Amino acid sequence: MPIVSTPALEFVVAEASNNGVSDVLVVLSKGKTAIADYFAPDPDLESALQEKGDEAGLASIRRAGQLATFHYVEQLEPRGLGDAVAHGQQFSAGEPLVVLLPDDLIDDTDELLGTMIDVQAERGGIVLGLIDVPRAEIRKYGCAVPAPGADLSADVVALVDLVEKPDPQDAPSTLALIGRYVLPPEIFDALRGTKPGAGGEIQLTDAMRQLAHDGVPVHGVVFRGRRYDTGDRLEYVKAVVQLAGRHPEIGRDFTAWLREYVSGLA
Ligand code: G1P
């Protein structure tokens, strides 16, 4: 999914890279090899650009591949987010891991992942990225249950439980999980014991919930910055418009055109 001319996935890999993640495992659905091709070097195109002396073009096609060392695994059946994460066991090699869902974009001038990694290093267990949503919207998300008496205006909130996509009237809070997780290696044992849940899929939320019940500490870092949801059609278009308006090359012209276009709609 391109945002102007950069795939959404590249923004997410850049976020990981900017926060010290050097190795990225991409869990691909069956046959999505174009994604691996995108991050791989392209020697023919590189030498053509080199011959033309197109330094800017060369830098731009190399940029994505230089963000990290890439690894790939195919998820042959769409059995859910929990199943996708389970494909990372060997890759994580017994260490905590960061899970990023590429349909959630965090603005690169706002801070989240670095704080989450620091909180996990200090307190261990699970650390989740959270946003406070209007109650009607909590049905689209995993929902965090804060510890009794937790200060919900704090940046880091202790959690005692999680519920996947609750009905708004039953939701224990309006704190929603966005696609940012720092997980301990114990998640893989929990995933192995997780039965299909909401939507018949293996839910990561259910495996984390099991760990929470087993006494593993769970904390949420509440994000109050700019987030774009490219997994929803309307939100995707809004993300493209907002990021196009701030684009270094086309931002100014696009904003001028947008003003004119919108005033013509009124
Ligand atoms: C997944 C998770 C959910 C989380 C959401 C964030 O849901 O299961 O807990 O809140 O991502 O984007 P999905 O959007 O895949 O339905």
Atom 10 of ligand 1, nearest CA residue: 141
Taking residues 9-27, report their average pLDDT.
97
Say yes or no: CB of residue 178 within 6 Å of ligand 1.
yes
Domains identified in the chain and CATH numbers? 1-76 (no CATH), 95-231 (3.90.550.10)
**For ligand 1, is residue 181 a contact (CB within 6 Å)?**
no
For residues 180 and 101, give the distance between their C-alpha atoms in angstroms, rounded to a whole number. 7
Q: Which ligand 1 atom minimizes the distance to the CA of 176?
A: 10
* Ligand 1 in reach of 218 Cβ (< 6 A): no
Residue 60 pLDDT level (bands cut at 50, 70, 90):
confident
* 146: helix, strand or coil: strand
What is the distance in A from the centroid of ligand 1 to the CA of 62?
31
User: β-strands 6-7, 2-3: how paired?
Assistant: antiparallel
For residues 3 and 80, what is the distance between their CA atoms, to the nearest angstrom? 25
How do residues 112-145 score in pLDDT, each as one tens digit?
999 999 999 999 999 999 999 999 999 999 999 9
Q: Mean pLDDT of all residues in the chain?
A: 96
What is the pTM (predicted TM-score) of this model? 0.94
Rounded-to-integer distance, Cα 9 and Cα 122, Å: 29
Distance, in Å, from the CA atom of 135 to the CA atom of 143, rounded to the nearest integer, reads 11
| Residue 198: band (very low, low, confident or very high) from pLDDT cuts 50, 70, 90 | confident
- Is residue 173 within 8 A of residue 135, CB to CB? The reply is no
Please work out whether the CB of residue 25 comes within 6 Å of at least one atom of ligand 1: no
Can you name the residues that pair with 199 across neighbouring β-strands? none
